[in-house]
């Protein structure tokens, strides 16, 4: 039924454009302007739906203009003699042929662009998969990153992010700790609190992660500023001095998701806290450590029972 709903929306849009063209038609008398109005549905169809829709819409436009011209001889302006009528029909025919060819070519261009975007998306997901394989050398980091990506995506959805921005949040969350690959195992798995030197080494994982990702380029570069700022705090007391709105909203989302997962799972130096205990910690950090809007979105998803994922071992 999803495809039927999509087709109905497409037909409604094209029909609305024809109605708009018809209404504007009644306000103008110039032949060129009238024909230009009936070009609009084809151009929009080519841009939004591709070659097939554009070609069919162009044919519909030509048929509609032909019928209207046949039943209303003065549609494109008054006719004084048969010579003018023949010239006008010739103009309409040339316009119609040009419109069909234009719709076909514009729609083809749109289809090619959509295919290229699809290929880029596949490449993008492939690079993510490869990078995740590198992360899998550290089982905790891999599982933690997966869960954070799920939590962060849910929070982003609660903030009404579009699909592309949610995908950026998911990708950044999957890779946010990739720099820990270059942190010593002794520090990562130390069964006690870290000293100052060890904390300093742990903090380098953010910059190291960015250095690992910078050569990748392309679409993946969008997530680098997100990863760079995911330990920045709302009040400016984080890894960097940025604060408030200066921190990318995606980073503020990951900060909450990261805290939630880190505290609800066992670590070498402490046992996991309950989700309700961690929720209170996050609420208490609203306005200082965390963005209040992000905290509100987190609470919305928490109340819905969305801040849970199928168990992934640590």
Q: Is the pLDDT of residue 62 over 60?
A: yes
Average pLDDT score over the chain: 76
Determine which of 12-16, 151-155, 211-215, 268-272 has the lowest per-residue pLDDT on average: 12-16
Q: Taking residues 108-130, report their average pLDDT.
A: 68
Q: Is the pLDDT of residue 159 over 90?
A: yes
- Please give the model's pTM, rounded to 2 decimal places: 0.61
Residue-level pLDDT at 254 = 96
Burial of 252 (0-12, 13-18, 19+ CB in 10 A): buried
Give the list of residues 6+ apart from residue 306 with CB closer than 8 angstroms, or none: 154
Q: Which residues are catalytic?
A: 180
Question: Which domains does the chain show, CATH number per domain?
Answer: 2-116 (no CATH), 136-303 (1.10.3210.10)
Residue 113 has a CB neighbour count (10 Å cut-off) of 12
Q: Taking residues 255-259, report their average pLDDT.
A: 95
């Amino acid at each position: 039924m999803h495809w039927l709903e999509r087709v109905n929306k497409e037909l409604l849009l094209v029909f609305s454009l024809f109605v708009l063209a018809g209404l504007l038609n009644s306000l103008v008398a110039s032949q060129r302007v009238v024909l230009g109005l009936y070009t609009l549905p084809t151009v929009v169809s080519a841009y939004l739906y591709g070659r097939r829709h554009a070609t069919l819409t162009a044919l519909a436009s030509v048929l509609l203009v032909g019928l209207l011209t046949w039943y209303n001889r003065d549609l494109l302006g008054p006719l004084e003699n048969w010579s003018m009528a023949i010239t006008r029909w010739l103009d309409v025919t040339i316009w119609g042929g040009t419109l069909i060819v234009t719709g076909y070519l514009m729609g083809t261009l749109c289809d090619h662009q959509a295919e290229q975007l699809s290929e880029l998306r596949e490449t993008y997901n492939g690079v993510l998969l490869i990078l995740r394989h590198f992360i899998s050398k550290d089982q905790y980091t891999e599982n933690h990153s997966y869960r954070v990506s799920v939590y962060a995506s849910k929070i982003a959805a609660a903030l009404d992010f579009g699909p592309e921005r949610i995908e950026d949040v998911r990708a950044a969350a999957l890779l946010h700790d990739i720099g820990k690959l270059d942190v010593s195992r002794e520090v990562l798995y130390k069964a006690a609190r870290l000293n100052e030197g060890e904390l300093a080494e742990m903090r380098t994982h953010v910059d190291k992660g960015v250095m690992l990702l910078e050569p990748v380029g392309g679409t993946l570069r969008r997530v680098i500023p997100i990863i760079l700022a995911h330990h920045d705090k709302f009040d400016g007391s984080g890894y960097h001095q940025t604060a408030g709105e200066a921190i990318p909203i995606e980073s503020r989302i990951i900060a909450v998701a990261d805290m939630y997962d880190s505290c609800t799972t066992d670590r070498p130096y402490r046992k996991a806290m309950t989700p309700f205990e961690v929720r209170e910690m996050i609420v208490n950090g609203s306005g200082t450590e965390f963005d209040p809007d992000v905290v509100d979105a987190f609470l919305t998803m928490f109340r819905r029972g969305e801040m849970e994922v199928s168990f992934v071992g640590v």
